[in-house]
Structure 1
């Protein structure tokens, strides 16, 4: 049955609830966010890399620091709602994913990064997985934009984990503590991204992000 109300109309309510929810969470940082914020302030391109299942806490943490971000959102109906929520909390959004509209979204994000000096936010294993397996999009964007990739992980002390979802999506409980782990900047090779070179860069980024497991 088709709903008589467009779900996107609920974006103001959802964004308001998100802001309130995030204000209750006590983030504890391992690593220094001021370092990549300073890189961005100097006009240098930055990409924040995260796993798809950690979107909620990492986006929440980012909201406590800055809204100077451009985020990738799928072209699905659900994506329309997510895009409107993100835009209400200050993000620019580009619509596309590895399965649909990906190249156009990458080029659009690059233009926004250059024109508005926004940091890109990229779910490395999204939108459909496999979980914790880096795809090529973030590597291509980083090389094209000359950007440093900053890996960020989130470990809420108490949370709801959706075990049946491919990404094991995590929603922190209100009033919990959440450890945020910020890795060292990752630089992509200058070699042409074909075949084994691209695969090698994806594997390097995967390991770089998985190495943050030790800070849990």
Structure 2
């Protein structure tokens, strides 16, 4: 595994780590508890989410249940509280149903409310399987492949910024982090 980060990234401080839904395998497996000590994640309240929640708890994450459709406000409030309690949170910006590579407002809102930075995260695999029929083109690394992870320059979101502006900034920053992660391979 190759991990690099922008010199301004302070992994010991709370932040909102942002990545694309289809690449969330690497951030969950390799960044959350291996690089960042205190991590929390939002997981759907669905039955499928229960499987993911169990897995994340096993990996040492604080699990927050909610989604963008059911209990959305409760999930965001709990994420804000987790950040205030010193946790970093990871958010797949285009999840849970897409469209692919279109950032949603949750991460910007959490960053603006808490004052913590958004950290764009890119992940790439030298060899991977991609689920082309899924909306997010979900990727998992094949055995013995190299994983590249890049934590990009922190973005600070102003409290009164238009979310379409911040979402556009985040979108470009994640794409740049994806390119950096691929360059590590």
Judge same fold: TM > 0.5, yes or no: yes
TM-aligned CA deviation for residue 35 of structure 1: 3.4
Offset from partner CA, 1:102-151 (integer Å, 9 cap, x none): 11111111112222x11011111110001111001111111111110111
User: Residues 54 and 170 of structure 1 are in contact (CA less than 8 Å); yes or no, is this contact kept in structure 2?
Assistant: yes
TM-aligned CA deviation for residue 96 of structure 1: 1.2
Structure 1 counterpart of 2:2: 28
- Provide closer, same or farther for how the CA distance between residues 151 and 118 of structure 1 changes in structure 2, counting only shifts above 3 A: same
Greater helix share, structure number: 1
Q: TM-score, normalised by structure 1?
A: 0.78
User: Residues 43 and 49 of structure 2 are in contact (CA less than 8 Å); yes or no, is this contact kept in structure 1?
Assistant: yes
| CA RMSD, 1 decimal | 1.7
Deviates more, 1:178-187 or 1:56-65: 56-65
| Ranges in structure 2 where 5+ consecutive residues have no aligned partner | none
User: Residues 163 and 169 of structure 1 are in contact (CA less than 8 Å); yes or no, is this contact kept in structure 2?
Assistant: yes
Greater Cα radius of gyration, structure 1 or 2? 1
State how far apart, in whole Å, the 2-side matches of 1:102 and 1:49 are: 18
Equivalenced residue count is 180
- Provide closer, same or farther for how the CA distance between residues 143 and 209 of structure 1 changes in structure 2, counting only shifts above 3 A: same
Structure 2 counterpart of 1:180: 149
TM-aligned CA deviation for residue 49 of structure 1: 0.8
TM-aligned CA deviation for residue 65 of structure 1: 1.9
State how far apart, in whole Å, the 2-side matches of 1:118 and 1:186 are: 17
User: Residues 47 and 150 of structure 1 are in contact (CA less than 8 Å); yes or no, is this contact kept in structure 2?
Assistant: yes
37, 40, 58: which one aligns with 1:88: 58
Structure 1 counterpart of 2:99: 130
| DSSP-derived class of the 1:100 partner | coil
| Ranges in structure 1 where 5+ consecutive residues have no aligned partner | 1-26
The runs of at least 4 consecutive aligned structure 1 residues that moved more than 3 Å come to 32-35
